[in-house]
Amino acid sequence: MELQFDRVGKRFGDLNVVDCFDQTIASGELVALVGPSGCGKSTLLHMAAGLQSPSSGAVRANGEPISGPNPARTLVFQEHALFPWLTLRENVAIALEFQGIPRRQAHPKASEWLEKVRLQGFDDYYPHQVSGGMRQRAALARAFIAEPEVLLLDEPFGALDALTRMELQDVLKNLIRDLRVTVVLVTHDVDEALFLADRVLVFSQRPARVLREFRLAHVERTHDLTALSEERRQILSLLGVQTTSPIAENEEHV
Amino acid sequence: MSALNRYQKLGATVTAVAFILLIWQIAAWFLPEFLMPDVPIVFARLWQELQQPAFLDGLSGSLGRLGIGYGSALLLGIVFGLVAGVLHFFRAALKSAIIILQSIPSIAWVPLFLILMGFGNAPIIIVIAIGAFFPTALSVMNATEEVQKVHVDAARVMGASRGALLRRVYLPAVTPQLITGAQLAFGNAWRALISAEMIVGFGAGLGRSLAYSGEIADMTGVMTNILVIAILASLIDQVLLEGLKRRVLRYQYL
């Protein structure tokens, strides 16, 4: 599914959050949005999910204006989006049940998906009984089980420690490769963007405008990002991070 | 506050009960028997009464009225509270109505409904329902304000209909406060039941039997009825409602 942002603007009262965002995200492409906190990247995702509507311009999915949420375009939240009163299996199955699929069919399928994100044996655990990384695995399973055409990721691994985050990035990368979905990833982790994305858009302070675009689709990626050190340096300096001293070179975050 | 283990809690309850019985027994030592009977005499009478069909009829009559009145108040309170949670005008209106109506003691409605509905079960049941409705609706309504936006958004993104959103997100999210409200409502319902029965004096019931014992100056009968009222209320609240709470909120205790 192709996502088209057609001169999209968003204001909250006097606050201009997004200013004329004009981008087309091709079907099957993975685009990362990187920028300062509160610059309006999440607002763009929420508009693509249909949770908010733009103040000006339009967001289109395959040419059709987006008027509300649709399970074909699903959103993965930073954390705490699993329902604490449901077990992991019930949390994953509810994505199907909301679409009218009976519990009898949804539950076995949810178990299969928990296995795909390597959570086998944790079906009957409640979210507060497992680690943050396991919760986000379940959140990914819940997003993928409905076979969405667009996956919107809102800093999905932001609350996790660095190692867990890399593990989850691998899980996500494999799932995306198998399912060929269109992905928009909002992140403040430059390495995450470099590792996952075909294209990285670097945003300015609010109102969000694209400062620069990096095309990486041709590069084979591993967690060792030395091949992309030039792009990394440029993105960090666009975000105002000093990259000349050796200490800053090793900095993980922005 | 340090947590007590279950034996310490049991010990505290036993101490409280022993203290109440001791005060009563001291009063009985100082007052003549026809004014304040001894504790053992009342327990012996209770044992006798439990073999009497008339007494058991009264018990089942009272519990039946309680079940219908309290049950329908819970159901209506949940529905009204949830709908008020999502419709803002309705919420404001309901809140004002509750503030006005809650200040009227439920027993004050008895003359009105006695004349409107005639001598029978109906006015007692209505008065119980009025007493129990307000705390239930209020607790559910207030709890809907604390339902996390991320849970609602997640459900909407997964394609939840309005009904499914209420049933599967709002209802479980408000359940902890609902149960606290339901326990408060039970106290109101129980007090309304006994006093309405005392006033209306219809059919067999605990309040009726208590009022009758008073009229013929049978103090052993009065104390027996008071004892039954206290024991039953504690059993329902501490065993039935607490048990339900642990069952429904299983995920919080694991």
Q: Residue B225: give its domain's CATH number.
A: 1.10.3720.10
Residue A132 has pLDDT above 80, yes or no: yes
In chain B, the number of structural domains is 2
pLDDT at position B15 is: 94
Q: Say whether both B12 and B47 belong to one domain.
A: no
Domain assignment of residue B25, given as a range? 1-30
Write out pLDDT tens, residues B85-131. 888 899 999 999 998 998 898 889 999 998 998 888 899 999 999 99
Residue B143 has pLDDT above 50, yes or no: yes
Give the least confident one: A69-83, A136-150, A210-224, B98-112.
Answer: A210-224
Residues B200-218: tens digit of each pLDDT? 877 788 999 999 999 999 9
Inter-chain Cβ pairs, chain A and chain B, closer than 8 A:
62
Q: Are residues B13 and B129 in the same domain?
A: no
Does B246 fall in a domain? Answer: yes
Chain A residues inside the 8 Å CB shell of B147 = none
Residue B53 lies in a domain: yes
Residue type, A123: D
Q: Is the pLDDT of residue A6 over 90?
A: no
Per-residue pLDDT at B6 exceeds 50: yes
The mean pLDDT of chain A is 85
- Cα nearest neighbour of B176 on chain A: A85
Contacts of B151 in chain A (CB under 8 A): 81, 83
- Are the C-beta atoms of A6 and A57 separated by less than 8 Å? yes
Neighbouring residues of B38: CB distance < 8 A, sequence distance ≥ 6: B25, B28
| Chain B residue whose CA is closest to A82 | B151
**Banded model confidence at residue B2, pLDDT cuts 50, 70, 90:** low
Does B36 reside within a domain? no
Residue bearing tokens 């986000």: A136
Give the position of tokens 């990721």.
A153
Tell how far CA B100 is from the center of its chain: 21
B1 SS3 class:
coil
Q: How confident is the model at residue B231 (pLDDT cuts 50, 70, 90)?
A: very high
Question: What pLDDT band is residue A254 in, cutting at 50, 70 and 90?
Answer: very low
CB contact under 8 A, B158 and A80: no
Residues 6 or more apart whose CB falls under 8 angstroms from that of A172 comprise: A140, A153, A156, A196
Residue B154 has pLDDT above 90, yes or no: yes
> Residue A211 pLDDT > 90, yes or no?
no
Burial A48-58 (b: 16+ CB within 10 A, else e): bbbbbebeebe
Q: Which CATH superfamily is domain A29-52+64-72+152-254 in?
A: P-loop containing nucleotide triphosphate hydrolases (3.40.50.300)
Q: Cα–Cα distance between A240 and B179 in angstroms, integer?
A: 52
Say which range, A16-25, A131-140, B68-77, B212-221, has the weakest mean pLDDT.
Answer: A16-25
C-alpha dist (Å) from residue A251 to A25, A167, A189: 30, 19, 11
pLDDT of residue A210: 81
B103 plus B64 within the same structural domain: yes
Q: Which one of B151, B153, B175 has the shortest CB-CB distance to A51?
A: B153
Disruptive mutation site among A75, A79, A85 for chain B (greatest number of B CBs within 10 Å):
A85
The pLDDT assigned to B86 comes to 81
For A199-215, what is the mean pLDDT? Answer: 82
pLDDT at A104: 93
Predicted confidence (pLDDT) at residue A244 exceeds the cutoff of 60? yes
Percent of chain A's residues with pLDDT above 90: 30
Whole-angstrom Cα distance, residue B167 to residue B86?
12
Residues B20 and B87 occupy one common structural domain: no
State yes or no: pLDDT of B142 exceeds 70: yes
Of A46, A71, A86, which is closest to B158 when you measure between CB atoms? A71
Confidence bin at A208 (pLDDT 50/70/90): confident
The beta-carbon neighbor of A80 closest among B150, B161, B172 is B150
